[in-house]
Amino acid sequence: MPDPLAEIVTLLQPSAPFTKRASASGPWRVRRTDLAQALYVLTIAGRANLELDNRPPILLQTGDFALVPAAQAFTMSSVDPPPPPGLLNLPLRLDDGTYRLGPPDAPPQVQQLLGHCVFASPDAALLVPLLPDVVVVRGADRLGVLAGLVADEALAERPARDIVLQRLLEVLLIEALRARAETQASPGLLRGLHDPRLSSVLRQIHAAPARGWTVAELARAAGLSRSAFFTRFQREVGLPPMDYLMNWRMTLAKDLLRHGRLGIAEIATRVGYGSASAFSTAFSRRVGCPPAQYAAQHGGSVSADAQATLLG
């Protein structure tokens, strides 16, 4: 049976445009407000505070790994000693390619590996909200190894570098997301998969997206009444079950249109529509353009039978 988490991470098409090793001493604080990317931080030694807007500070200690799938802004600061109000530092790039905060000749009190991750998928806006807002894993030995491999590959110029980086990042993200976080995840796929009643339902949806699912049928699969299932699914996953199913069908359809050479009718069947016209109508309403036009705009192609639906 397909693994929903693995499918979503793979479809996100992660890449690593920037990774760095940083050390710090004394009081320090850095802030980024223009990131709009996934952020991951591995604390190799020492302690630091990670602050995300509208959240209390998160203390990161030696061996801790933090992942923020959609970081718009963040602040990182010293703990021992705390920075004075208003202090902001600019990292200094050293000759060895690492970055330094505080006096460059002082013994480092904190060492971290930081990386930014971008998602190449055009469907990232649909998929990222299914992930937790932030994940913190304590004593993340396996994640430390993976993060080190990502950094090593990102800083090197080896053949097939981009492909290796994408695969390493997929494993890194899956490992971080499936690890037990210290706090309850925000509503999304991860919380749904940890709910014993909803996990099997989500896996069944991903295993058979073309099936004519109803709320009543999904509720029976979860062993709940229809109203209890609807309320629980929306609370844990963050959207109603039929909206989740529709989003997943459209995500699969767009992926097939971008990368496949299938006709509209075959794609319609694969994502649960009885006819090409019904699929085209639903796709246009959801995406804003007909399927064949979407394929042409995103470098895909469809077989000859689809061309007549380009404008309808």
Strand segments, DSSP code E, in the chain are 14-24, 29-32, 37-45, 47-52, 58-61, 65-71, 74-78, 92-93, 99-101, 110-119, 135-137
Measured CA to CA in angstroms, residue 111 lies from 6, 19, 42, 62, 220 at distances of 31, 14, 9, 9, 51
Q: How much is the pLDDT for 309?
A: 42
What is the rounded distance in angstroms from the CA atom of residue 283 to the CA atom of residue 295? Answer: 12
Residue type, 261: R
Q: How much is the pLDDT for 161?
A: 85
Cis upstream peptide for 81 (omega within 30°): yes
DSSP-derived secondary structure for 147-202: HHHHHHHHTS--TTHHHHHHHHHHHHHHHHHHS--SSPPPSSHHHHHTSHHHHHHH
Q: How much is the pLDDT for 303?
A: 52
Give 239's pLDDT tier (boundaries 50, 70, 90). Answer: very high
CA 208, chain centre distance (Å): 23
* pLDDT at residue 181 is higher than 60: no
* pLDDT at residue 182 is higher than 50: no
Give 308's pLDDT tier (boundaries 50, 70, 90). Answer: very low
Q: How much is the pLDDT for 302?
A: 56
**Strand 99-101 relative to strand 14-24, pairing:** parallel
CA 287, chain centre distance (Å): 21
CB 173 within 8 A of CB 65: no
- Assigned token pair, 82: 């705390």
CB 233 within 8 A of CB 274: no
What is the rounded distance in angstroms from the CA atom of residue 23 to the CA atom of residue 111? Answer: 4
**Residue 54 neighbours by CB distance under 10 Å:** 6
From edge to edge, which strands make up the β-sheet containing 29-32?
29-32, 74-78, 47-52, 58-61
Average pLDDT of span 15-35: 89
Average pLDDT of span 181-209: 85
* pLDDT at residue 151 is higher than 50: yes
Give 152's pLDDT tier (boundaries 50, 70, 90). Answer: confident
Where in the sequence of the chain do the CATH 2.60.120.280 domains occur? 4-178
Any idea which architecture 195-312 has in CATH?
A: Orthogonal Bundle (1.10)
Topology of the domain comprising 4-178: Jelly Rolls (2.60.120)
CB 222 within 8 A of CB 198: yes
The pTM score is: 0.81
What is the rounded distance in angstroms from the CA atom of residue 14 to the CA atom of residue 118? Answer: 6
Which residues is 24 bridged to in the sheet? 101, 110
Instruction: Give, rounded to a whole angstrom, the gap between the first and last alpha carbons of the chain.
Output: 35
CB 126 within 8 A of CB 251: yes
pLDDT, tens digit, for every residue of 121-131?
Answer: 888 888 888 88
What is the rounded distance in angstroms from the CA atom of residue 263 to the CA atom of residue 302? Answer: 5
Where in the sequence of the chain do the CATH 1.10.10.60 domains occur? 195-312
What is the rounded distance in angstroms from the CA atom of residue 104 to the CA atom of residue 281? Answer: 61
